[in-house]
Structure 1
């Protein structure tokens, strides 16, 4: 496992003193390679947390450019960056935050045609994109590749985060959760429905925590569980998702 330099030992000192992390866990983070799909509201909370935690390799996939309406919930960007590509600027943010993180920007839309190429070879993928069609492509591809998926979504005052390993016999995949009704690109997004800026930060931070837990091996395994957050009521709820025996992605 990759050693930590003296500078890194100092940088991650508050992690290393945690008995659930320690030096072994911090080296696991440094050795990890993680994809973040979407550098929007959720990604703007995920990326600082993951880079600050010392994930060794981050790849950011996003084909969008910054719009003024993004700034209400995407604080890693600035007003003078409007019109510039999110993936590139997000990768610059990560480099400035932590020089020990290797980061790559992929300014492409993730599709069924390129998903396997873009996602292969990673330890975990965190999906915070803004449409179901892409989410299902990501989920289906990762089930085939046997790569864990942390999926996070937020709209209006509602958020949800789940960990999926659908190739396992007793664990659901993402399609088990949402079914086949959302493969098209015409589903509502936060552009139509609105979203509270602080909600995306809450959900993104929780998703980053889930990814770090899975990488280090902290606490109980929550694969197949979905965490629902109601921002208006300030209430978290956990449900266990069943595996769909007829799922076209993960069923035998």
Structure 2
């Protein structure tokens, strides 16, 4: 996979020092770090998966992060949503996440969007991003995020977690290499049902951190061109048995050149 983002011309001296361990890392290096600095990543959700993903991306030196979430911090969030603190209870998650990001990576520009993403605003909110990360907690929102990413031709890094189990993958309607794979290839419309909420069945906080880090890693690979992204592969994590495996996702229906061109436009 070719790098998704052109490198920034230079890094600030303090940022060079702060991200020095990337400069010697095979697959990233100094040029890859400048690509991260030039990247704009939008994350939908600042909760269990969004919190660690945001922190990892800020720590990695991503230059611009947009955080979309209309919720406020509650005490029950703090078991797994590591971007928030006790003193943040009652405040917007976007504001709390921005505080944490700035404290960790002062050079990262944070845009707060305290709105609920829906069909009416999805394309507007996601336009301008190089990569979108979906960590939202309802399938209705996931459908809208996926539809907007398909229309805009954006890569979508996708994760879900519940109880002791998690999934992660990359969807992209118009990749530069490989077959296009979209959310409907994994979950055809109408097949998702009504999964229980974390409040009903629980969620392992440590698993959220693990998978949030995986999502951040997928973004870093896409931006820099390092390694092999999870496009067309679904990683499945079972924390209870300490096992991880994957399944191949193939297009559910043939896509015509006209459809691909429409996504690119």
Scaled by the length of structure 1, the TM-score of the pair is 0.93
Counterpart residue number, 2:43:
36
How far did 1:227 drift? 0.5
Q: Is the 8 A contact 1:167 1:173 kept in 2?
A: no
How far did 1:246 drift? 6.7
Counterpart residue number, 1:114:
121
Q: 1:58 aligns with which of 65, 70, 74?
A: 65
Q: 2:215 aligns with which of 180, 187, 207?
A: 207
- Kindly report which structure 2 residues correspond to 1:191-206, keeping only aligned pairs within 5 A, or say none: 191-206=199-214
Structure-1 separation of matches of 2:259 and 2:49:
30
Structure-2 separation of matches of 1:192 and 1:72:
15
Residues paired across the two proteins, number:
249
Q: Is the deviation greater in 29-38 or in 162-171?
A: 162-171
Unaligned runs of 5+ in 2: 1-6, 261-265
1:166-200 C-alpha deviation (Å, 9 max, x unpaired): 2358221012111112688x542212221011111
How far did 1:84 drift? 1.1
Q: Is the 8 A contact 1:130 1:190 kept in 2?
A: no
**RMSD across aligned C-alpha pairs, in angstroms?**
1.9
How far did 1:222 drift? 3.0
Scaled by the length of structure 2, the TM-score of the pair is 0.89
Q: Is the 8 A contact 2:58 2:108 kept in 1?
A: yes
Q: Is the 8 A contact 2:218 2:229 kept in 1?
A: no
Structure-2 separation of matches of 1:203 and 1:181:
26
Structure-1 separation of matches of 2:162 and 2:229:
26
Unaligned runs of 5+ in 1: none
